[in-house]
Each structure stands twice: as structure tokens, then as C-alpha cells.
Amino acid sequence: MNPVIALVGRPNVGKSTLFNRLTRSRDAIVADYAGLTRDRHYGNGKLGNKPFTVIDTGGISGNEQGIDAAMAEQSLLAIDEADIVFFMVDARAGLTPADEAIANHLRMNQKKTWLVVNKSDGTQEEIATAEFWTMGLGDPVAIAAEHGRNVTQLIEHVLEPYPELDDESLHPELNVDQGIRIGIVGRPNVGKSTLVNRMLGEERVVVYDQAGTTRDAIEIPFERRGKPYVLVDTAGIRRRKNVSEAAEKFSIIKTLDAIKQCHVAIVVLDARTGLVEQDMHLLDYVLESGRALVLAVNKWDGLESDVKEKMRAELKRRLGFTDYADMHFISALHGTGVGDLYTSVNSAFKSATSRWSTNRLTTLLQDAITEHQPPLVRGRRIKPRMAHQGGTNPPIIVVHGNQVDALPDAYKRFLINTFRKVLKVRGTPIRFEFRTND
Ligand code: GDP
Ligand code: GDP
């Protein structure tokens, strides 16, 4: 389990600036999911071999209506889920009553809290932090999120008690010995635990009862038709036996972990409610993680045909960015369509872990270029020359040539689509890197 850092503070102190700095992906990657709006509050970061998760709590204003009213439920949940809280204040604005109100609340919370004084650029550290000593939240640390001042040092310090991870823990997707790992994710009530029960069969539930903490996703090995799998469960099928446990809180951290731990994520959607924002965020996390994806539109039983039509149209319109993934209309309750999920899981995994020779990829690239010439850039013809595979799970294709990084997006998309089609890759994102070498 990665340490989880929650960024807390009133609006405008620089939370999202710090969030972006900590979670910005360093990989130069053109992913093929254009059109998806990015508005995330959970992200992963890494310092050396120490991964961590950051939550931008966003909505705490700490204003006159009292801290409890002002704290959005999500923010409280985020603090609850966190191991470490960065309480952020603004060196330029100085100490405000809203800061005091939030500080009072944090003092009641037993979480390890760091007082982070942002926007210290242009000031000496001692001067920036001077007035915040009085808050009684320990030594204030001066940073400038926008310029990166002191940010790495702060994270190094904060992560000191946490161990470095080995490659296997850093990349659970590399472990394929126990079989394909299937993550079942979705917002509350879409039918995850019903589906997990259905996939495992009744006997397994008993075995499962022993395990489980509230924040960890749970791994359940099982076999189907002689083939091993591991189910990574976030819903907690224990609930099925004891209805009073049904109020167990939905944990986004647990969901993010399950996504990281699986090879193929089955994202469960609810045909009765249609798509909501939380579904889009979950899909965004799956895409960002590079995991293979299967969509399960649940509760398809007993719907009128016009409702089905409307739902199909909505999914088509809003989920264009996941059109590489198979979509199943299922009823977890009755078991309809559930067996078919395995077909998609197997083929998505196969695609995600495929390997192609440099020869094959380069020939494919040359064919694509012959079919459709790259454009001129500043009077010169861009020449992609060679392609090789830079990784699997998700597959990474590296294209070399002169000025290839200057290829227009439309042309890059053409290449990506061509590779996807010719290599018959389904169910997994493909990532492309364009490396100019001239
Ligand atoms: P949030 O509402 O707490 O998420 O705050 P934002 O991250 O949106 O930042 C609010 C404003 O402060 C933006 O205009 C940022 O550019 C600015 N800002 C953030 N970090 C710094 C910093 O380190 N120095 C300065 N001078 N401005 C910053
Ligand atoms: P979770 O919170 O995602 O684990 O959802 P549950 O599995 O607890 O299901 C939430 C509710 O939806 C329960 O009342 C289930 O009986 C119901 N449900 C789950 N799957 C289906 C389905 O396929 N069809 C119908 N009609 N209801 C379902």
C-alpha cells in the first residue's frame, strides 16, 4: 500500500499546482484517448523507488459557516484515507481566519500533518514561514509549488519512513505466474459485489471471509476451466451475507490500488442510472494507468427496449475514447452475459502482453507511410524510419526518424489507428513515443 498524501487548505493556496507537480507523468507519451477531459483529484507520484498517492481535496473553504459545513464530504473522506496531510497556506496572503479554522479541525485529526507554506518564491524561507509558527502544527516548511522550490526535499523528508520498493512491487503487472489478474471496479451500487459473487461461485465466498482490511483491495485466486485467475476485489463480497455492512465506505484509494494491481480492469457501469461523473473519473484512472479494459454495463435485465436504445446511444456518444475496449451488457444478478466477460478479459490480456519484432513494426510503419505521406514541416518532409517495441502492458511503440516529434496529432492518430488495426490489438491502450534522431 502506497503512502497517501492529502493536500488540504483553503482555495487558491496552490493545492492543484502542487498536485500537478507531484503527479505529472514524466513519460513522453501520446496516448490514444483524446477527447477525455481531465479533472482529477487523485494521482500517483514517485520519488525514486518510492511510489505515493496524492489527493487534492479541493473544496475546503474554512469559512464563517463553520468548518464542518464548509468541508465537503469528499474532503473529509480524503483526509480519512490519507496517511499524511499537507496543510497548505499561502506565504503571500499570510495567516487568515480560514487557515485557523482548518487548523483547528486538523488538530483534532490524528493524521501526521505537515504545515506547508507555499508561494515562498521571492522571499527568504525564514520570513515566509515566520508568522505560521504560532499555529502549533510543527515546523512550517517553505516551498514554491509553481517553481519547484523545496518540493523534492519536502517529499524526500516525508517519505523517509517508507521503504523503497523492488521492481515486482512497483510493477504488479509483471507478475503473471498466478494467472490473469482481473480488477472489478466501479462506483458504489453498480453491482460489483453481485458480479464478484457470480464470477466466483458460492463456495468461494466462505474462503474469502477471512481476509480484508477497509483500505486494501483483496486478491482472490480462482480457476475457471482449468485456467488460473486472480480477482482483485474492491467491493467486499462479505457484505452479501451481512446486509448491515452494506454501508461500507466507497474508497477511491482502494479502487486506484486495485487498478494498479490488476492486468485487466472490468469497469462496471449501471444501466439504470446511466453514466455519471464518477464513472468518467474511474475510466480516466484506468486509461492513465495503461491497464487493459473491459466494460460491463450491468443491470441490463428487465429494461424496456427504448431504455436500452437510449443507453446504448449515450454510451456510444460519451465513451468514444474507450472504443478499443469490448463492451458487455450483463446482468450480474441473473448471470446473463457474465461468462462472456472472460473471453474479452483473455483477449485483452493477450493484446496487452503481445510482442512484435522490430522488423514487423518497421515494415508496418513503412507501409503506413506509403499509404499516407507524412506532411511537410517547415519545408522538410518528416521521415519516420523505424519502429520498435518499448514495452508491454500496455504495449509501447517507439517510432524513430527525423522530426517525428513534430508530426501533427492527426497524423499520429492515423499511425496509432493503423498499428492497432493491423496488429489486431483490442482491449488495451497502445502508447506511442516519437523519438527524433537527426
Ligand atoms: P488551489 O485553489 O489551492 O488549488 O490553488 P492553485 O494551485 O489553483 O493556485 C492558485 C494560484 O496561485 C494560481 O494562480 C497559481 O499559479 C498560484 N501559485 C501556485 N503556487 C505558487 C507558487 O509557488 N508561487 C507563486 N507565486 N504563485 C503560485
Ligand atoms: P456494489 O456496491 O457495486 O458492490 O453493488 P451491489 O453488488 O451491492 O449491488 C447493488 C444493488 O444492485 C443490489 O441491490 C443488487 O441486488 C442490485 N444489482 C446488482 N446487479 C444487478 C443486476 O444485474 N440487475 C439488477 N436488476 N439489480 C442488480
ipTM of model? 0.83
Record the pTM. Answer: 0.81
Using the mean position of ligand 2's atoms as its centre, give its distance from the Cα of residue 267 in Å: 14
> How large is the average pLDDT for residues 326-350?
96
| Cα–ligand 1 centroid distance for 85 (angstroms) | 18
Segment 365-412, tens digit of pLDDT: 999 999 999 988 778 888 899 999 999 999 999 999 988 888 888 899
Nearest-atom number in ligand 2 for the CA of 334 is 23
Q: pLDDT tier at 25 (50, 70, 90 boundaries)? A: low
Least confident of 12-26, 97-111, 190-204, 236-250: 236-250
- Whose CA is closest to 3, among 178, 169, 162? 162
Judged against a pLDDT cut of 90, whether residue 152 lies above it is answered with yes
- Assess whether pLDDT exceeds 90 at residue 111: no
In DSSP notation, 271-286 reads: TTT---HHHHHHHHHH
| pLDDT class of 190 with cuts at 50, 70, 90 | very high
Nearest CA to ligand 2 atom 7: 191
Residues contacting ligand 2 via CB (< 6 Å): 186, 188-194, 235, 298-299, 301, 331-333
pLDDT above 90 covers a percentage of the chain that reads 50
The sign of the CA dihedral 75, 113, 135, 110 is: positive
Q: Count other Cβ atoms within 10 Å, centred on residue 213.
A: 9
| Site to substitute for ligand 1 among 17, 87, 89, 92, most atoms within 8 A of C-beta | 17
User: In this structure, which residue's CA is closest to atom 25 in ligand 1?
Assistant: 119
Q: Which ligand does the CA of 197 lie closest to?
A: 2
- C-alpha 12 – ligand 1 centre gap (Å): 6
What span, in angstroms and rounded, lies between the C-alpha atoms of 112 and 117? 16
CA 141 to chain centre: 29
Is residue 350 very low, low, confident or very high in pLDDT (cuts 50, 70, 90)?
very high
